[in-house]
Amino acid sequence: MSGTQISSGTTPRQAGAASPHGHDGSGIGWRLFAGTMIIIGAAFNLLDGIVGVANAKYFKEVSGSNVHLLLTSNLRAWGWVAIGIAALMLAAGTAIFFGAAWARAVGVVAAGVNMIFQLAYLAHYPFWSFTIILVDVLVIYALVVHGEAPAKQTDIVLGDV
């Protein structure tokens, strides 16, 4: 006998093999979801930033009043910040698709920063900011809870006993 196998009571699966529930346990579906959602959030920020830079009066026209924001009411400045956050989110989302380990952390940080930014930017158009915050919550959930399942060792193979 070349070795003894002690099992934890579960049948061993090959790495990447599908479970009886139809998923492989690698978290790839959630990573793709998170990558997609962070890129959608980046697109929202990019649109918001372009409008802020190109036509800052748009928000006044839509809301019917002057917009007073935290720190500064200069909508062009807020627009440039939104474009910068969008670039960071786009880079993280693309790297998540390619499976970069660092991208999960950058994605969580970018989504968290964007949530705070959108909360401070809430007065410009509340429903839009709330929608972007909701997308960020989904991104953080997908990356933190389901981003990557650690490999489980269910079987121990012992040498000749």
Question: Is pLDDT of 35 > 80?
Answer: yes
pLDDT of 13 strictly over 50: no
pLDDT in tens, 61-98: 655 556 555 556 667 888 898 899 999 999 999 998 88
Taking each continuous run of H as one helix and of E as one strand, the counts in the chain are 5, 2
More confident residue, 123 or 104: 104
Query: CB pairs under 8 A, 24+ apart, for 7-13?
Result: 7/154, 7/155, 8/154, 8/155, 10/154, 12/154, 12/155
For the chain, what is the mean pLDDT?
Answer: 74
Distance set, CA 146 to CA 9, 64, 103, 139, 155 (Å):
25, 42, 14, 10, 24
Residue 3 in tokens: 């070795």
Give pLDDT tens digits for 43-65.
988 988 898 788 766 666 655 55
Structural domain boundaries of the chain? 27-148
The model's pTM is 0.67
